[in-house]
Structure 1
């Protein structure tokens, strides 16, 4: 029932961190799309500025693994997703997505692993939901 313009604005400012905030809000019983929009409008400018700064400064750090910079985003997501744990069945799409992405990354050059992981998670999620509905 949300107007299209509001949904479009919410999706325009959607970043990973605001999506996690929205998921947590929903998991805690919240149903206000304004939380997702508010988090996005607050985080989007910072996200864009950080991306620009990271792009410009990225060449200065020749070995990001030496400073564990490659671990910042995975650790952030693990910390945000941990409270959402609801058991193994809901985690199966995440597990399938991750495993397929890792496998494809090893076997196929380029960024095909992103699409393959997303497709694997989607199909697994459909199968898990279909199995739960029966």
Structure 2
């Protein structure tokens, strides 16, 4: 394997690198579309109306943040609490953006615009190693995911299946299942993540008896401050 996979990246045309990103993005977009249909349908069922879920997907373009927003609102936490919950989840894009910033081009406005393509799957697929990223692959992967996410949301909103059908198909379980998958992925990575998850669950379990579920969600996020203590001290497990 090449010790420095980013060394020859400039020898490949931007078009080919963009198409490589599109190829990766197609698979990600397929999953995003299905998830977005569920978000649109459940947001409509929660009384968001027709336009609000679609605008949310256009602007936010983050499944985890949008699900947190919807879950907090459904739990009675109110708009400020819901926004706080979504912002806390989207806070992960700050270090991701810092990491990719060196490979973006142009002035401040152009770099800010290019930075909007930083989403989880695209960011991971564009990583070359040694702190380098293929910006064209990043663009290509996101170029197909964003319209798929918005289109899926629109379909979910317009179809708006009745509540009984949503329950029969198990769509009402997508919110908790989505976050459970994220949690499992984190738990496999480090011992500190497991400690933080346990503390967060304990905080939420205590708060849910005295405050709305949305506020309990925000309160539980205090456990994430454990991450400020640094990396995992327990080492990784063999896979």
Tell me the TM-score normalized by structure 2. Answer: 0.37
Displacement after TM superposition at 1:44 (Å): 1.0
1:31 equivalent among 132, 137, 141: 132
Check whether the contact 1:96–1:124 (CA below 8 A) recurs between aligned residues. Answer: no
Q: Which residue of 1 aligns with 2:116?
A: 12
Q: Is 2:170 the counterpart of 1:86? A: no
Other-structure match for 2:157:
55
Please identify runs of 4+ aligned residues in structure 1 that moved more than 6 A.
Answer: none
Q: Note closer, same or farther for the CA distance 1:131–1:101 as it changes in structure 2 (3 Å cut).
A: same
Alignment partner of 1:65 is 2:160: no
| Alpha carbons 2:123, 2:138 under 8 Å: kept | yes
Asked if the contact 2:208/2:216 (under 8 Å) is kept, the reply is: yes
State the shift of 1:78 in Å: 2.3
1:23-77 superposed Cα distances (whole Å, 9 cap, x missing partner): 4765x9473163544332221111112122222333x231323211134463597
Counterpart-to-counterpart distance in 2, 1:68 and 1:7: 41
* Structure-2 separation of matches of 1:69 and 1:11: 32
Q: Highest Rg: 1 or 2?
A: 2
- Structure 2 runs not aligned, ≥5 long: 1-101, 234-239
| Structure 1 length-normalised TM | 0.56
Q: Does 1:42 align with 2:179?
A: no
1:124 maps to 2:226: yes
Aligned residue pairs total 123
Mapped to 2, the partners of 1:130 and 1:115 lie a distance apart of 23
Contact preservation (8 Å) 2:190, 2:232: no
Closer/same/farther in 2, CA of residues 55 and 82 from structure 1, 3 Å limit: same
Secondary structure of the 2:132 match is: coil
Structure 1 gap segments, 5+ residues each: none
